[in-house]
Structure 1
Amino acid sequence: MLKEIEIQNFRCFEQIKISGFERVNLIGGKNNAGKTALLEAIFLNIAPHASSLAILKELRRESSKAVQAMPDRAWDNLFYALKKDTSIVIIGKDYNNTDRVEIKLEINSVKSSIVIEFMRNENRSALSSKKVPATHLMSYDTSTTGKVPIIPSFTRISGRELTVAYDNARLNEKDSEVLKAFQIIDPAIESVESFYIGEPTLYLRRKGEKRLPLSLFGDAMNRVADIILKLVNSEHKILLIDEIENGIHYTNQRDFWRMLFRLAVELDTQIFATTHSLEMLQAFADVGLEPDQKCSSAYFELARKLKTNQIIGIRRDLETLNYALEHQKGVRGE
């Protein structure tokens, strides 16, 4: 599991080091405090490939035409304050201190290329060093972003990708977890089926009713399906969820957290999620503090220093978080 991450010159982070990650981690803060950027940095740390940069651009819905039109400027927003003369460095360490991955990105404005260097372990032995034309990065296939362990706040995954993911879960005897997740949102759901008549589609059946395609059950069901299927099918043993509260009614949030906590332990997977929601924060604290809870968890608040405007990460254990919530103290970057 990832224990800490250090980020330099990436997105909104000039320099930040966050330590003490647990099995399940919730991240809060004001708008533009770096919550999404932190997930992206963790993603680059676990998937240190040139194609990952293209995937991040795809997930942010940034036009590929900008790369073709302005190749020397298309990747500027990866760099803090557009400082392309300074390398991006992302360093991650696990709990055994046996794996240290360092990612270094550089832009050559003259040649319109990106140099990507990956290091591993304390001796800084090079995993690879790759020079990639900036225009070529967007030629990487991003059509399989549904397999990437990061869930954006706004993108709705296609029915085809969900159906394929469900069949993978069924093949691995994990399809029952998908049904349980749907039942958290709608207890009347009694079955999930995949059909390949025309477009691959998932169908749900409520008690006493005919089966209907998943798309007719609203955005919450689609998002829950995406989260659970990525979790049970995870190859990276990590899941990154941006704005986890989206679509999930507050009355269902505790049961949803219980499921995530349980699966994180059973599947040996680490979860990072962001939120703006005070209700989701309280549900997270309540479930994490339950007497029989076996999953370790922590809350991280991203905030800006008043004097320097630099972003810092404040770790709160659940007892501290719960105390702050009960006494209405600011815990979201206030």
Structure 2
Amino acid sequence: MRKLESIHFHQFRGIRDLRLENLGQVNLLVGINNSGKTSVLEGLSIYCHPLDLREWFRTARQREQESRLNQTSVLDSVRWLFPKLHSRGDRVGEPEVGTLMITGDGSFPVKKLQARYEVIEGLRISERRRRANIGRSKKIEDETSEIQKGIDLHLEIYADPSQLSFLNNDPPTFTQDFQLWEDAFIGKLPRSGQLNLETSIVTPSSHRSETEQFRLLSKASFHDFKTSAISLLRQVDPGITDIEILLSPDSISSSRFSAYIQHERFGLAPLSTFGDGIRRLLHIALKLASVQGGILLIDELEATIHTEALQNSFKWLVRSCKELDVQLFATTHSLEAVDALLEVTESESDLVLHRLEPKETHTRVVRHDWSRLKLLREELGQEVRW
């Protein structure tokens, strides 16, 4: 049984009643713009970490990771994960509320995630003390108050007790409530343990973050999967022998560390000199090695990879997913990417294409398994993306 055999997004962001059935090892999501492909990846990330508030925040802010100016507030970003039941002004005197629900099946114990938020208001009272001109020792207290908005967040998770080692006869239901305010400290976070499934997401631009690359490389060294990541990358470029974070002895800056690749042909060279394609493939390799036995999510699978390199890159990716027991979900707009994946997969369980078709009340999903996809593309030459 796969980690996820099926997933049903009842309500999440802008998608309604979207079902992905009979999932494969490699699941390709296609469809027109704004059909919900990226939202599916975000929903999967939260479903696999239902009680991890950090994952909720990270997912909510993910689309703004490159924007440093005019970012949406954290709480507003969280609210946009929810389809709203009604907003202030729709029903006089009632607060804004929103709900979401995702259900799934597979070896992952969590079977249902329900969440609800409600906008709340509180009174912030601050005391500012300033010295008066009438004497250095005398102080005047200036008390101000202002209305501050926050949200009450209620999470409810249903799990299969037969798949959880710590449950005996207890009901397999877990609930958690958070009261969230802007710039406020959140106390001890709940332990989620077996309610987490290891996941990681690759966005079209996440490989360009030096901080993220350093973090991944450091994690790879500390958790002993750097060798696996290099092995994966060598399948694309056999000349790569090592990756290190170094401070060049010729650097003018005393704190400017960079990632370097040890290459049989080029010697020690900065990662940046290898181009965007290798940087993204390294990013994918590190992410893939870090989620062994879990799920890898890739938005815009073909991004930065030259069309002539797609087949070799995907052959490496599919083989690595099998070796590391990783289930892959990826979005694409590229017909070349579809054909390249079809070429490097062999059986019906390897590749499943899901075409998302938004309707007024739901999202229709057209599923093509490997055999049907091969017929449509190689024999009939049909368009399968939309």
Please, what TM-score do these two structures have when normalized by structure 2?
Answer: 0.72
| 1:57 pairs with 2:56 | no
Q: Structure 1 residues 115 and 330, CA, compared in 2 at 3 Å: closer, same or farther?
A: same
Give the share of equivalent positions with the same residue, in percent.
Answer: 24
Aligned to 2:91: none
CA contact (8 A) 1:262 1:295 kept: no
Q: Structure 1 residues 223 and 14, CA, compared in 2 at 3 Å: closer, same or farther?
A: same
CA contact (8 A) 2:153 2:177 kept: yes
Aligned to 1:284: 341
For residues 281 and 363 of structure 2, the distance between their equivalents in structure 1, rounded to whole angstroms, comes to: 31
Following TM superposition, by how much is the alpha carbon of 1:52 offset from its aligned partner in structure 2, in angstroms? 1.6
For residues 181 and 333 of structure 2, the distance between their equivalents in structure 1, rounded to whole angstroms, comes to: 34
For residues 335 and 7 of structure 2, the distance between their equivalents in structure 1, rounded to whole angstroms, comes to: 26
Q: What is the identity, as a one-letter code, of the residue corresponding to 1:91?
A: T
For residues 283 and 253 of structure 1, the distance between their equivalents in structure 2, rounded to whole angstroms, comes to: 6
CA contact (8 A) 2:7 2:105 kept: yes
| 1:89 pairs with 2:95 | no
| Unmatched 5+ stretches in structure 2 | 87-95, 122-149, 162-170, 188-197, 248-254
Q: What is the identity, as a one-letter code, of the residue corresponding to 2:330?
A: A
Q: Deviations over 1:152-191 (max 9, x none)?
A: 122335334424533544563652542552562x56x343
The count of corresponding residues between Structure 1 and Structure 2 is: 315
Following TM superposition, by how much is the alpha carbon of 1:45 offset from its aligned partner in structure 2, in angstroms? 0.9
Aligned to 2:25: 23
Following TM superposition, by how much is the alpha carbon of 1:223 offset from its aligned partner in structure 2, in angstroms? 1.0
For residues 121 and 309 of structure 1, the distance between their equivalents in structure 2, rounded to whole angstroms, comes to: 28
Q: Structure 1 residues 56 and 74, CA, compared in 2 at 3 Å: closer, same or farther?
A: closer
SS in 2 for 1:244: coil
Q: Deviations over 1:119-173 (max 9, x none)?
A: 1236873223222315268979xxxxxx960111223353344245335445636
| Unmatched 5+ stretches in structure 1 | 141-146
1:175 to 199, 208, 227: 227
For residues 138 and 153 of structure 1, the distance between their equivalents in structure 2, rounded to whole angstroms, comes to: 32
| 1:317 pairs with 2:320 | no
Aligned to 2:175: 128
Aligned to 2:291: 234
For residues 334 and 219 of structure 2, the distance between their equivalents in structure 1, rounded to whole angstroms, comes to: 32
For residues 169 and 82 of structure 1, the distance between their equivalents in structure 2, rounded to whole angstroms, comes to: 43
Following TM superposition, by how much is the alpha carbon of 1:205 offset from its aligned partner in structure 2, in angstroms? 4.2
For residues 330 and 280 of structure 1, the distance between their equivalents in structure 2, rounded to whole angstroms, comes to: 13
Aligned to 1:105: 115
Q: What is the identity, as a one-letter code, of the residue corresponding to 2:209?
A: S
SS in 2 for 1:203: strand
1:296 to 350, 354, 377: 350
Aligned to 1:5: 7
In angstroms, what is the RMSD of aligned CA positions? 3.1
CA contact (8 A) 2:152 2:179 kept: yes
CA contact (8 A) 2:97 2:119 kept: no
CA contact (8 A) 1:157 1:226 kept: no
Larger radius of gyration, structure 1 or 2? 2
SS in 1 for 2:73: helix
2:308 to 251, 256, 259: 251
| 1:77 pairs with 2:124 | no
Aligned to 1:150: 201
Aligned to 1:192: 242
1:117 to 142, 145, 155: 155
CA contact (8 A) 2:25 2:327 kept: yes
Q: What is the identity, as a one-letter code, of the residue corresponding to 1:312?
A: R
Q: What is the identity, as a one-letter code, of the residue corresponding to 1:149?
A: S
Q: Structure 1 residues 182 and 202, CA, compared in 2 at 3 Å: closer, same or farther?
A: farther
Instruction: Specify which structure has the higher proportion of strand.
Output: 2
SS in 2 for 1:211: strand
Q: What is the identity, as a one-letter code, of the residue corresponding to 2:332?
A: T
CA contact (8 A) 1:239 1:271 kept: yes
SS in 2 for 1:328: coil
For residues 160 and 52 of structure 1, the distance between their equivalents in structure 2, rounded to whole angstroms, comes to: 18
Following TM superposition, by how much is the alpha carbon of 1:310 offset from its aligned partner in structure 2, in angstroms? 3.1
1:165 to 213, 216, 221: 216
Following TM superposition, by how much is the alpha carbon of 1:266 offset from its aligned partner in structure 2, in angstroms? 1.6
Q: Which moved more, 1:121-130 or 1:217-226?
A: 121-130
Q: What is the identity, as a one-letter code, of the residue corresponding to 2:352?
A: A
Please, what TM-score do these two structures have when normalized by structure 1?
Answer: 0.82
Following TM superposition, by how much is the alpha carbon of 1:321 offset from its aligned partner in structure 2, in angstroms? 1.2
CA contact (8 A) 1:192 1:202 kept: no
Q: Which moved more, 1:35-44 or 1:81-90?
A: 81-90
Following TM superposition, by how much is the alpha carbon of 1:102 offset from its aligned partner in structure 2, in angstroms? 2.0
2:383 to 325, 330, 333: 330
Aligned to 2:273: 216
Q: What is the identity, as a one-letter code, of the residue corresponding to 2:31?
A: G
CA contact (8 A) 1:10 1:78 kept: yes
CA contact (8 A) 1:149 1:236 kept: no
